[in-house]
Amino acid sequence: MSTAMYVRVSTQQQSQTQTIEQQLERLQHYAKTQNWEIQPEQIFRDDGYSGARLKRPGLDQLRDEVAMAKVERILLTAPDRLSRNFVHQTLLIEEFQSHGVRVEFLDRPMSEDPHDQLLLQIRGAVAEYERTLIAERMRRGRLRKLQAGTLLPWSHPPYGYSSSLDHPRDAAGISVNPVEAAVVGEIFNRYTQPGMSLAQLSKHLYDLGICSPRGKRAWTSGTLRLILTNPVYIGKVFANREQSAPAQQRRSPLQPVGERGSVRLRDASEWILVTQIEAIVSPELFETVQIKLQHNRQTAKRNNKTHNYLLRSLVSCGCCQTACTGVTRNQKYRYYRCRQKSEVKRLKEGKSCSARYTPAQQLEALVWQDLCHVLKHPETIAHAMERLQDGQWLPQELQARCATLHKAQKSLQQQIERLTQAYLAEVIALEEYRRRRADLETQLQALTTQERQLTAQSHQHIEMTQLAQGAEAFCHRIQQGLEQATFEQKRQLVELLIDRVVVTQEQVEIRYVIPTSLRGEQSRFCHLRIDYFGEHLKPELSAFGFRLPNPETE
């Protein structure tokens, strides 16, 4: 029987104190007493990974080995080494057992006896409770230190400053880095010049050969904005400026949403002034930069309505998966251009996108013609609306969130049942039972409230498509004004019905928000792709006499 070992510690500090080696020594000694041979490749370890997360390289590798039937037994020192989250722990054990793999713990041997199973589940719940309690204590302790000014809100100082190597979060050890401070001053002063934008500022720093804080040749607009908006450069160190938020949908839907999530700025009233340090720029210069940032944001090209682009913010490059922007040549020739053709770094390195400029007039005519064709043939829309009623066409984010809530509710209900069983088995006292049950019921009520909110949100999404319900009546009503529609009316209809237009060389792919293709059910929206057409009707630009010139050479 093939046996694997799994060991884990939560922090690098623990890993340095030989906790991993201690676990391995115990496991190997036990395996030797059982006459089990353990090969080095059958030892899976995660040094410095939290037990609250499932995403661990060693654990992922172990799960892959189990799925490929290469392991028949898994040996661990204790259940909390597998996971400190009760739901995750149960999930992993059930996953391993479903593949016929036995899971053995040295500290708390597990059998198939219902009593042992109950105790294991209770211990898993207690481990999760302990982790939550420790995290809350750390949060409150950190908050008190921040309010007292004895702890800086960062482990690495901002660009332009240096900190003590021994005490990086001690305010007394912060000093100005002369070289980096000169760059910060250049960034602030240069940005105040007339006509200067973040993109132009990035190009200026690139030309000067100044590397970014991460040592890259090119400065991103995001890095420059973070520097220009950070009040630390006027000597004020704030904590609690940002809060975690779910990952935002990227501008180009051809790119996946990141797993790490995102952050958003809190209201200034929630900021905590930790301490004051030496300033690099004056408050007057900082305020001038903030005003210009706001002005540039309002007058940015993406908000420029001088030239009408029917497909503004809807066109993507099929070659590099990024969004396209509208540009005008000689005040009369309009094009959609891939953003990576104008990025400073790619231009300097000769790696700009190879996609050619797309003539806006011809692309817009092609898309509008196809949209009219879809609206004049409502049978596909009517068929999709029949499936809409059961909710399967909700955006993927809502579906995933609803599924997560259902799983969490089921888990809490099971925990309440197990807690009741523990009380009836006299494992816990009545007072402890009432307290824990009250906590679980509070969590369950919160999940129920969230579910109601999501249900209301899903109803709002369905209401957005009520124009298309009764598809024939809707399409016939729209048809009457298609030929005489103004630009504003066309723009409204395009924004309502089209999610993305992907241009790849001489082929155009139109992705409709309307669910008209059975193949689109797993997409974020249910798109009408090019497979909607027959082979002889695919909307290729060349078939419409659509030639892709290059304005840089013609």
Do 183 and 198 contact (CB within 8 A), yes or no?
Answer: no
CA dist 97 to 63, 69, 86, 371, 502, Å? 12, 12, 17, 52, 45
Is 10 tagged catalytic?
Answer: yes
Give me the mean pLDDT over the 341-355 stretch. Answer: 69
**Inter-axis angle of helices 114-148 and 396-424, nearest 10:** 120
Q: pLDDT for 184-199, tens place per residue?
A: 999 999 999 888 889 8
Query: What is the reported pLDDT for 223?
Result: 92
Those residues whose C-beta lies under 8 Å from the C-beta of residue 162, and which sit 6 or more positions away, are 174, 175, 176, 177
More confident residue, 309 or 528: 309
| 3-state DSSP assignment of residue 549 | coil
Do 43 and 65 contact (CB within 8 A), yes or no?
Answer: no
Q: pLDDT for 200-253, tens place per residue?
A: 899 889 888 888 998 888 898 889 999 999 999 999 999 888 887 766 555 455
Neighbours of 76 (CB within 10 A): 21
Continuous H helices in 299-388: 344-349, 360-376, 379-388
Q: Which helix (H) or strand (E) holds 501?
A: strand 498-504
Which one of the listed residues 2, 10, 175, 313 is annotated catalytic? 10
Q: Which helix (H) or strand (E) holds 496?
A: helix 487-497
Query: What is the reported pLDDT for 536?
Result: 34
**358-359 and 3-8 strand pairing:** unpaired
What pTM, to 2 d.p., does this model score? 0.47
The Cα 450–Cα 506 span in angstroms is: 46
Q: pLDDT for 18-30, tens place per residue?
A: 578 888 999 999 9
Neighbours of 91 (CB within 10 A): 15
DSSP label at 506?
A: T
Which of these, 323, 294, 288, lies nearest to 309 by C-alpha position?
323
- The model's confidence at residue 182, banded by pLDDT at 50, 70 and 90, is very high
% of the chain residues with pLDDT over 90: 14
Which of these, 331, 339, 343, 295, lies nearest to 313 by C-alpha position?
339
Angle at 32 between CA 28 and CA 35, to 5 degrees: 135
More confident residue, 337 or 255: 337
Give me the mean pLDDT over the 305-328 stretch. Answer: 83
Q: Tokens 């990576």 belong to which residue?
A: 340
The Cα 101–Cα 96 span in angstroms is: 5
